[in-house]
Amino acid sequence: MAATASQIRPGAYYDSVVLMQLQRGLLTLPGVLDAGAVMATPVNLELLEASGLRPVSGAGADDLLIVVKAENKESAEGALGQIDALMTRRRASGEVDFRPKSLDAAAHRLPEAAWVLVSVPGRFAGGVARDALHLGKNVFLYSDNVSLEDEVELKREAQGRGLLVMGPDCGTAIVGGVGFGFANRTRRGSIGLVAASGTGLQTVASAIHHLGSGISQAIGTGGRDLHGEIGAASARQALDVLRRDPETSVIVLISKPPEPEVAARVAAAARRTGKPVVLNLIGLPGGGRSLGNLHFASGLQEAAEIAVELASSPAIPADAPPPVRGMARYLRALFSGGTLAYEAVLGLQIALHPLHTNVPLHESQRMQDPLHSTGHAILDLGADQFTVGRLHPMIDNDLRLRRLRQEAADPETAVILLDVVLGEGSHPDPAAELAPAVAEALERSDLKVLVCVIGTDLDPQGMEGQIEKFRASGARVFTGLREALDEIARLLPPEAEPWPTPVSLEAFRTPAAINVGLESFYESLVAQGAATLHVDWRPPAGGDERLMAILARMKSPSGS
Amino acid sequence: MAATASQIRPGAYYDSVVLMQLQRGLLTLPGVLDAGAVMATPVNLELLEASGLRPVSGAGADDLLIVVKAENKESAEGALGQIDALMTRRRASGEVDFRPKSLDAAAHRLPEAAWVLVSVPGRFAGGVARDALHLGKNVFLYSDNVSLEDEVELKREAQGRGLLVMGPDCGTAIVGGVGFGFANRTRRGSIGLVAASGTGLQTVASAIHHLGSGISQAIGTGGRDLHGEIGAASARQALDVLRRDPETSVIVLISKPPEPEVAARVAAAARRTGKPVVLNLIGLPGGGRSLGNLHFASGLQEAAEIAVELASSPAIPADAPPPVRGMARYLRALFSGGTLAYEAVLGLQIALHPLHTNVPLHESQRMQDPLHSTGHAILDLGADQFTVGRLHPMIDNDLRLRRLRQEAADPETAVILLDVVLGEGSHPDPAAELAPAVAEALERSDLKVLVCVIGTDLDPQGMEGQIEKFRASGARVFTGLREALDEIARLLPPEAEPWPTPVSLEAFRTPAAINVGLESFYESLVAQGAATLHVDWRPPAGGDERLMAILARMKSPSGS
């Protein structure tokens, strides 16, 4: 009858590779049916249970738990007796290269290494990354299960030193043609990638290769980089690197679902690169195909397709837009059409931030007082609250005329946008009433008025005549909303947030890297011909948390 | 010195057109600088204030408030003395056609009218719409400020009778070539529109006309139709109309931001039309260009472009997919790549509903227990919770092999999706371990396994060889996620919710319509050559709310 036997090895460090090899080794022993060798976290205990490897109680999250299911009790216990041998066997195999015992020693031996790859378990990873930064190295931090607080602190420290931290939980990068971590082998080329997303980067890089183009640099940031607490710290550094990199002509920016606030910040940086940037921020659609130098993809494959197309187009001299000066800096959009107002919010929310509106897509965008605009404002004047006992603004222009004058009188207004929807049932000649008010507003020289006319050549108002009247008033006239939004993005460039302390481009030329953690990453660097050293890393204090804390306090000059 | 004078006319009905004309009339009087004639809602009082027309206190939301600002007190008060004359002048002008005094009389006089257009003020509109339904008429309900409860009740009643209610707050429709409400004059053609959005419909219809195509029917639903309480009642009826309409070959479905739950329901109906459907649901991206017969647009202009392209393509016999039978009906996607998992959630959330995942885009999608799948499930097995003391599933296949067996053993599993990401650092031969497990799973004849291989021809694993091994195991292999998602949508069609009681297609052939409310809508029907009558409508009980309630109780057979 099948029997199960377990062993707990309390709180110490075990390499994940060692655990995988141990589990596989146990499975080869006589009579063994199944085996698990895992850190005893709640999820891992449940996983064992689900596999019919009922775990014993008493193991904590920092303990190693080994469970063997065998044909009988003897086989199960016999297998447990082999644990030490199996773990040692792995250790002894294939050590040929020189292996420094510490990061310091490795840095001394390979001074040209601008990078340290860190893939030790999460609870040790922050410490190793910090040591690397103190040595002046950029960090590729593969490890996951690193706390958000550690990430904030590491990235703050890196930025202060002009260094880059990719990660934590950064699975992949291609630096100067060399893949770090998980990386597809791809042609070199002129497309640069920034990704808060590992497989996103791999998928786009692979697709670009399939389409015949290539990669200049592919920079991971870690999946949490676009969270509010991190504020796209690494993504902004990476955009700055690709902006300065002469080999990069097109940039692709990918992320898992970002916080809208941070997405706006990173989009502002993307607009200021002066290069075409393809965005695929999952769950945050652009509301169109493009806006200025930003191009919106609906998925990873499409991001690659757009980038390849842009890279093969003759280079457009896309100068970064100059920052706005003076008081007049805001959009005031006065819509009669609700859906057009929504489309404007969708299309501009990433470019004009913060945006206030009575048709919000997120509650944070809701206008406090729809009767008085502040900042960038998009108003649907056909909303229910405005039409009690009043005709719709497509029939009665009074409300819009008054609001147009109100916005024009505000010195902070830079651009006024109006829609004019023609057709049956609408006002018979809207331009006759609106165009004179536009002309009056345009007496202010620092104001622009954009009018978007929606209609057909068959409409009773006469579309051409309407357009002519608005043109004559000095307005810029568009017959589609997208073109109007594009012009608004051009007229209202992002405020000039300073670029971070530059990360040296030298680090991206001929990368040399020190590896701390998974041996397979080292082997892959060797296979790719990169100068590299693998550190024979052991956790401080043998992985004992209490001792580690004491050691950390001793190392820190401030004693904190 | 400028002076202001006001008059309050308590609780009665005033036509919005009369108020506009009154205001304009006052402005032409000697010495008058500005004037307002509005129902005294809080917003309107604030608007008067903002225009420098300080309102007197004491007026309520149902009262008419007239404020005049003039050069002096005499002019202001003189203007107020003209109010009755100005309101009567308007009344007396241009009455030539026969005007029945009631909807009943109009219906008797124009029995072929299948439609009633309602544009009386919101608080009266529900009653008129209900009367129309009782007469067996479809309703175009332009009025806004109708309560959600009234909308729910009207639509329920309409559905029971096989009638359609477009609205409330439905600005526009094109029925059998005739525009209702606000409508652009467009070529007739084979593209049918369904829109929970007025200017959205107008913009897309205009753009389709510009692009050289035309409209079969354009059906509005009112902006709230895709709210949870309404559940897309009118949109589903409209899709059913266009599905049955032989003149419609392509459908466009537009809405303001929908509730995800309802969007899924309407998308299920769209999939079952068996015709290509272009979707532009603001703020709900499709995560790709298309999925089965659904095509996703990033904006109104693009929706028109895609529809025109589809309409000019040779008709694809897009049969509605057959419903799934048997227990095996769910997707189980086991990803090693987090971003791929997100892209799958984004791409499938509208088609597979409800969807459970550990990488949710909305909190409602979050899996309660990531270790046990129920319903449609998409799992990122590289998430932090799974990788404590365990190698990433791109290196160590153990976790995925176990989960693959677990899902295959669940009789509710119909489709298993795996991603396999090649490249440096990943497992040297993932197919060697995964393909045999796939073959074993496929011993169940009602199961399909899809494998999405991401990589390049240069990757160390050898992409072709990996694909071959998976093909030999019986899996369907894809090299891009979009194609795999498309196949999943094909394999898992929506559950067959019955179509609503059909609305007669006859009503959409040569529309005749009775108009109750804005005269301009009647004039536009006349101009378009439609058979029509305008009802000389007055509110019941002169607009007195208390009396109206008594009358309503007397009319209702149930007394409720």
Contact A521 B425 (CB under 8 A): yes
Q: What is the gyration radius of the CA atoms in chain B, in angstroms?
A: 30
Whether A390 and B50 lie within 8 Å, measured CB to CB: no
Give the integer Cα–Cα distance in Å for B400 and A212.
Answer: 33
Evaluate if residue A172 carries a pLDDT over 60: yes
Q: What is the pLDDT of residue B89?
A: 63
Nearest to B134 by CA among B165, B158, B167: B158
Question: Among candidates A234, A228, A227, which has minimal Cα distance to A157?
Answer: A234
Residue A507, in any domain of the structure? no
Contact B201, B172 (CB under 8 A): yes
B446 pLDDT more than 80: yes
Given a cut of 50, whether residue B93 has pLDDT beyond it is no
Instruction: Please report which confidence band the pLDDT of residue A160 belongs to, taking 50, 70 and 90 as the band edges.
Output: very high
Q: Which of B285, B312, B339 is the last residue of a domain?
A: B312
Name the residue range of residue A476's domain. Answer: 330-491
Choosing from A442, A460, A491, the residue where a domain stops is A491
Question: Which residues of B are less than 8 Å from A257 in CB distance?
Answer: 342, 361
CA B89 to chain centre: 42
Cross-chain residue pair B282–A186, CB shorter than 8 Å: no
- In A, which residues are within 8 Å of B395 by CB distance? 20, 518, 520
A261 and A287 belong to one structural domain: yes
Cross-chain Cβ contact B209/A458 below 8 Å: yes
A312 touches chain B (CB under 8 A): no
Residues B345 and B355: beta-carbon distance below 8 Å: yes
Beta carbons within 8 Å of A275's beta carbon, 6+ residues apart = A242, A243, A248, A249, A250, A251, A293, A318
Please tell me the predicted confidence (pLDDT) of residue B323: 63
Which residues lie closer than 8 Å to B67 by C-beta, 6 or more apart? B4, B5, B6, B35, B36, B37, B48, B53, B54, B55, B56
Residue B500 in contact with residue B236, Cβ under 8 Å?
yes
Chain B residues closer than 8 Å to A479 by CB: 210
Burial class (CB in 10 A: 0-12, 13-18, 19+), A30: exposed
Based on the domain organization, do A120 and A247 belong to the same domain? yes
Query: Per the CB < 8 Å rule, is B288 touching A302?
Result: yes
* Domain containing residue A83: CATH number: 3.30.70.60
Look at residue A424 and tell me whether its pLDDT is greater than 60. Answer: yes
Residue A51: band (very low, low, confident or very high) from pLDDT cuts 50, 70, 90: confident
Residues 145-164 of B with CB under 8 A from A: 145
Residue B61, pLDDT > 90, answer: no
pLDDT above 70: percentage of residues in chain A = 94
pLDDT category of residue A34 using cuts at 50, 70 and 90: very high
In a domain, B475, yes or no: yes
Asked if A456's CB is within 8 angstroms of B283's CB, the reply is no
Is A251 inside a domain boundary? yes
Q: What is the pLDDT of residue A15?
A: 75
Q: Are residues B290 and B154 in the same domain?
A: yes
Kindly state the average pLDDT of the residues B443-451.
Answer: 96
Q: How far is Cα of residue A80 from the mean position of the Cα atoms in its chain?
A: 45
pLDDT surpasses 60 at B77: yes
Q: Closest chain A residue to B209 measured between Cα atoms?
A: A456
- The closest CB to that of B206, out of A406, A454, A524, belongs to A454
* pLDDT number for residue A412: 96
Count of alpha carbons within 13 angstroms of residue B29, beta-carbon side: 26
Q: Distance (Å) from the C-alpha of residue B496 to the closest C-alpha of chain A?
A: 28
Cα–chain center distance at A85: 45
Residues A356 and A260 in one domain: no
Give percent of chain B with pLDDT exceeding 70.
94
Distant-in-sequence, close-in-space partners of A537: CB < 8 Å, separation ≥ 6: A102, A103, A120, A128, A516, A517
DSSP H or E segment with residue A37: strand A32-39
B19 touches chain A (CB under 8 A): yes
Predicted local distance difference test score (pLDDT) of residue B6: 92
C-alpha distance from A554 to closest chain B C-alpha (Å):
28
Place of tokens 């008797």: B108
Chain A residues close to B528, C-beta within 8 Å = 424
Per-residue pLDDT at A437 exceeds 60: yes
B61 falls within a domain = yes
Residue B212's pLDDT is: 96
pLDDT at A324: 66
**B185-199 pLDDT, tens digit each:** 999 999 999 999 899
Q: Are residues B248 and B122 in the same domain?
A: yes
Beta bridge partners of A191: A215, A250
Interface check B430 vs A, CB under 8 A: no
- pLDDT value at B559 more than 50: no
Contacts with B165 (C-beta within 8 Å, 6 or more apart), sequence order = B129, B133, B138, B139, B141, B154, B155, B158, B222, B234
B434 belongs to a structural domain: yes
Residues B218 and B334 in one domain: no
CA torsion through residues B481, B495, B331, B266, sign = positive
Arithmetic mean of pLDDT, B69-76 = 94
pTM, two decimal places: 0.88
A contacts of B524 (beta carbons < 8 Å): 424-425
Kindly report the number of other CB atoms within 10 A of residue A366's CB atom.
Answer: 12
Least confident of A241-250, A541-550, B321-330: A541-550
Q: Is residue B60 domain-shared with residue B156, that is, in the same domain? A: no
Q: How many CB atoms lie within 10 A of CB A523?
A: 17
Q: List the beta bridge partners of residue B277.
A: B251, B294
Residues paired with B138 in a beta bridge: B115
In chain A, how many domains are there? 3
Could you give the angle at the alpha carbon of B414 between the alpha carbons of B412 and B420, nearest 5°? 125
What backbone torsions phi and psi does residue B552 show, to the nearest 5 degrees? -60, -40
- CA gap B370, B363 in Å, rounded: 14
Which pLDDT score, from 0 to 100, does residue A421 have?
A: 96
Last residue of a domain, one of A471, A491, A511: A491
pLDDT value of residue A19: 85
In tens, the pLDDT along B231-275 reads 999 999 999 999 999 999 999 999 988 888 899 999 999 999 999
Question: B557 to chain A nearest CA, in Å?
Answer: 31
Backbone angles phi, psi at B20, to 5 degrees: -60, -45
Q: Tell me what pLDDT residue A527 has.
A: 92
What local confidence, expressed as pLDDT, does residue B63 receive?
Answer: 87
Return the pLDDT at B396: 93
> Which tens digit of pLDDT belongs to each residue from B350-403?
899 899 999 999 889 999 999 999 999 999 999 988 888 788 999 999 999 999
In a domain, A524, yes or no: no
- What local confidence, expressed as pLDDT, does residue A559 receive? 40
Verify that A400 and A486 share a domain, yes or no.
yes
Partner residue opposite A50 with nearest CB, options B288, B298, B371: B371
CA B296 to CA B349: how far, in whole Å? 13
| pLDDT higher than threshold 60 for residue B40 | yes
Higher pLDDT, A418 or B13: A418
Asked if B305 and B335 sit in the same domain, the reply is no
Sheet with A3-9: list strands edge to edge.
Answer: A3-9, A64-70, A32-39
- A540 domain-assigned: no
HSE, CB side, 13 Å, CA atoms: give it for residue A416.
30
Beta pairing class for A172-175 and A178-181: antiparallel
- Identify the band that residue A394 occupies on the pLDDT scale cut at 50, 70 and 90: very high
User: Which pLDDT value is given to residue A365?
Assistant: 94
Q: How far is B505 from chain A (nearest CA, A)?
A: 24
Domain identity same for B232 and B141: yes
A223 reaches B (C-beta below 8 A): yes
At A92, is the pLDDT very low, low, confident or very high (cuts 50, 70, 90)?
very low
Q: How close, in Å, is residue B342 to chain A by CA atoms?
A: 7
Give the distance, in angstroms, between the CA of residue B232 and the centroid of all CA atoms in the same chain.
Answer: 7
Q: Hey, what's the torsion of the CAs at A75, A77, A78, A84, to 10 degrees?
A: 140
pLDDT at B560: 41
Q: Are residues A351 and A279 in the same domain?
A: no
B19 — phi, psi (to 5°)?
-65, -40
pLDDT for B497 equals 86
Mean pLDDT of the B461-470 span: 97
The pLDDT of residue B558 is above 60: no
Q: Which of A202, A391, A419 sits opposite B421 (nearest CB)?
A: A202
Q: How far is B241 from B214, CA to CA, in rounded Å?
A: 18
Residue A38, chain B, CB below 8 Å: the answer is yes
Q: Looking at residue B555, what is its pLDDT?
A: 66
B388 within 8 A of B299, measured Cβ to Cβ: no
B456, B457, B515, best to mutate vs chain A, most A CBs in 10 Å: B456
Q: Does the distance separating the beta carbons of B456 and A185 come in below 8 Å?
A: yes
Q: Give the pLDDT score at B318.
A: 59
Supply A481's token pair.
């909303």
Supply the CATH number for residue B276's domain: 3.40.50.261
Asked if residue B317 has pLDDT above 60, the reply is no
A457 contacts A463 by C-beta, under 8 angstroms: yes
- Please judge whether B39 and A389 are an interchain contact, meaning their C-beta atoms are less than 8 angstroms apart: yes
The ipTM, to two decimals, is 0.88
On the question of pLDDT at A508 being above 70, the answer is yes
Six-digit token string for B229: 């309480």
DSSP for B324-362, written as a single string:
P-SS--EEEEEES-HHHHHHHHHHHTTTSSSEEESS-SS
Count Cβ atoms within 10 A of the Cβ of residue A442 and give its class: 0-12 exposed, 13-18 middle, 19 or more buried: middle
Q: Are residues A341 and A480 in the same domain?
A: yes
Chain A residues within 8 A of B282 when measuring between CB atoms: 287, 339, 342-343, 346, 361
Residue B499 lies in a domain: no
Mean pLDDT over all residues of chain B? Answer: 91
Query: Which residues of chain A lie closer than 8 angstroms to B363, CB-CB?
Result: none
Report the C-alpha gap between A411 and A14 in whole angstroms: 65
Nearest C-alpha of chain B: how many angstroms from A406? 9
Mean per-residue pLDDT, B83-105: 75
* Mean pLDDT of chain A, nearest integer: 91
Judge whether residue B438 has pLDDT over 60.
yes
Average pLDDT over residues B278-307: 91
- Scanning the structure block, which residue is given the tokens 């008060």? B77
DSSP assignment of B136-200: T-EEEE------HHHHHHHHHHHHHHT--EE-SS--EEEETTEEEESB----EEEEEEEEE-HHH
**Residue numbers of B between 74 and 113 with CB closer than 8 Å to A:** none
CB contact under 8 A, A384 and B16: no
Handedness of CA A298, A299, A303, A305 (dihedral sign): negative
